[in-house]
Amino acid sequence: MKCALVFLLALGASSTDVTPVQKVITLLNGMLEKGKQEKHSEQVQFASYKQFCDDTSVEKTRSIKKAAQAIDMLTADISKYTADSMQLGKEVSGLDKDASVWEGDQKAATAVRQIEKTDYDATHKDYSESVDALQRAILVLKKQSSDRKQKSFAQVAALKKFNLIPAAAKRTIDAFLSEEVTTEEEVQGAPEANAYEFQSHGVIDMLEKLMDKFVDERTTLEKEEQNGRHAFSMLMQDLKAQISQANSDRSQKAQAKSKALQSKADAKGDLQDSSTTKAEDSKFLADLTSECRTKAGDFTSRQELRSQEIIAIEKAIEILGSGSVAGNANKHLPALMQKKTAFPQLRAASISLAQEKASFYLSEQGKHLKSRVLSSVAMHVQEDPFGKVKKMIKDLIVRLMESANEEAEHKGWCDTELSTNQQTRKEKTEATEMLHAEIDELKASIAELSEDITDLTQSVADLDAAMAKATEIRQSEKASNTETVGDSQDAQTAVAQALVVLKEFYAKSAEATALVQTETIQKPSIFDSPYTGMGAESGGVVGMLEVIESDFARLEAETAAAEATAQKTYDSFMTEAKVDKASKSTAGEHKQSKMQNQEQSLTSKASDLDGTQKELDAALSYYDKLKPSCVDSGSSFEDRVSRRKEEIQSLQEALRILNGEETA
């Protein structure tokens, strides 16, 4: 089809006195120049692609090695954290057991002290009451010794009820009390008075000795009680100190265990991330190596085919320019009048359509990837000249690759600095991390919901724009296809007329040209390759024109089929877009309601966090300096690498669209 379009362009641009052979020679010269340019462009393109393969392979190999080292370190860290947490758990259990034993000792000692105190109070009371009773009895007896008329044995008799009074003393008291003086004469008798006085003094001495003994024993009891209280106090202080120290040690070790378990969990998460990254990088490297090897083989084959094609075209030009062909044509053929067709406009339309498709594709990719680069290029593809657009895209691909290398180096520096700063900040954030975690989780959820709502809103707007754009493209494409079918039919008629003229000429001059054609014209090889060449494989002018005629017939059929397929694709797209739009609108309403609830919860949580953030200012100062270039760059390094890769792939796909190549 490309051959046919170029051929008709040559026909439309020629003067009325140029023979068909000269027109074919002009066509072949144009094809030769185009083939050389495309061969050179392909070499430049492959050199850029090969550089990309080499650079990316080195980068991925380094990333895989770094991930393997990180996996080894994290595995060792996990083993250490596991052993530490187990040891700390045993120590916590031991401290709990010790504290439990000491608390039991406290309860036992307290119970013993209470029993001792109860016994002391009862015994001390007995001693005090006995001493008081003895004092009263001694006073009574002394008084009775001086005045028998006021004799009263009540106080002495009361001593018998005290448990502390010895049995021998009680018997003496009983003997003393058993003597009765019944008459006044007996009281006044001197012998009886002397006997009574003698016996009374003996009882008094006994009672005084007994009282002294009780006082001494009571004093001893009080000293023992004081010593017991002091010993109990010292024991309780010692037990409390031991329990307090055990609880303090337990708290520290429990915190250390929790930190070890948290560090273990963090290390496991990092290990999973590193393993996933390594696996992804390994797969990417294997796929890239295979793809680059395949592309290198394809490039070699294509270059060989292009070289052979250029040689074949040069040979065809030499044959057609010889006197046996061009001379006889000038001699025998009148100037062939060809009516100008609309195919120059068709070719321009095809270029414009290719630019339009490339612009639409880049615009959609720019929205999907949120890439201002692709959106900007999409505008230039529509506005700038065709050649300038292709050069701009190629230059942009090279700049994106250079930017990727620079950002990778900057990422390494950022990782080192951020890792060092993170350790410092971690020591200062333990006191507030619980509330911060809850607030950050809510903020992240709200941000995600907000982003989702924005994305859904944008997606709905994009769907509306896409449906409108699809309708516009469909209408334009339909009009173009209708025009292409009409032009193809007109072109087939014109080529058929040219074939009639050439066949009549060769029939008349068969004897003069048959030997020359047999000796000089050779059929070129047909390459069995996805690359089909520019149509210079025909065995002669007539064969080439017949190929041109078949190209236009195929153009008509393919355009009609493409029109049917495009209409079906358009109808399917519109149906799916309407369903998708309704789904996204509903999802956006649900997310909006959920975000409002979480904003209220965030306000409540934020009110509980006050005054603790100032302690972090010193550690965060350097972190704030790192954020503009290492953290707050708008997206993660992996996202930027992935998006840049997709931008490069999108630009390469746009080049293929502009070149009219088949796309996946």
**427-442 pLDDT, tens per residue?**
767 777 777 777 878 8
Angle of the 386-428 helix axis to the 617-626 helix axis, nearest 10: 170
- Contact by Cβ (8 Å): 354, 658: yes
Q: For residue 589, is pLDDT > 90?
A: no
**508-544 pLDDT, tens per residue?**
544 443 333 333 333 344 334 454 444 443 345 666 6
* Mean pLDDT, the chain, whole residue set: 75
Q: With the CA atoms of 19, 24, 29 and 31 taken in that order, what torsion angle do they form, in degrees rounded to the nearest 10?
A: 150
pLDDT at position 495: 67
- Contact by Cβ (8 Å): 479, 567: no
Q: How many CA atoms lie within 13 Å of 32's alpha carbon, on the beta-carbon side? A: 15
Closest to 3 (Cα-Cα) out of 27, 25, 23, 20: 27
pLDDT at position 349: 44
Q: Dmax over Cα atoms in the chain, in whole Å?
A: 204
Place of tokens 């023992």: 224
**591-638 pLDDT, tens per residue?**
888 888 888 888 877 776 666 677 666 667 767 777 777 766 566 777
Give the whole-angstrom CA distance, residue 91 versus residue 587. 53
Distance of alpha carbon 126 from its chain centroid, rounded? 83
Quick one: average pLDDT of 551-569?
85
DSSP 614: G
Q: With the CA atoms of 170, 171, 176 and 177 taken in that order, what torsion angle do they form, in degrees rounded to the nearest 10?
A: 70
CATH 1.10.1740 fits 433-508+538-611, yes or no: no
Give the whole-angstrom CA distance, residue 76 versus residue 73. 5
pLDDT at position 177: 67
Give the whole-angstrom CA distance, residue 345 versus residue 347. 5
pLDDT bin (cut points 50, 70, 90) of residue 4 is very low
Give the whole-angstrom CA distance, residue 564 versus residue 480. 13
Distance of alpha carbon 591 from its chain centroid, rounded? 21
pLDDT at position 71: 93
pLDDT at position 245: 92
Give the whole-angstrom CA distance, residue 105 versus residue 663. 86
Q: What percent of the chain has pLDDT over 90?
A: 12
Every domain of the chain and the residues it spans: 49-305, 433-508+538-611
**28-67 pLDDT, tens per residue?**
788 788 888 888 888 888 888 888 888 888 988 998 998 8
pLDDT bin (cut points 50, 70, 90) of residue 199 is low
pLDDT at position 381: 67
Query: How many CB atoms lie under 10 A from the CB of residue 586?
Result: 11
- Give me the DSSP letters along 418-480: HHHHHHHHHHHSTTTHHHHHHHHHHHHHHHHHHHHHHHHHHHHHHHHHHHHHHHHHHHHHHHH
**317-333 pLDDT, tens per residue?**
777 676 655 565 565 44
Give the whole-angstrom CA distance, residue 35 versus residue 39. 6
Query: How many CB atoms lie under 10 A from the CB of residue 29?
Result: 15
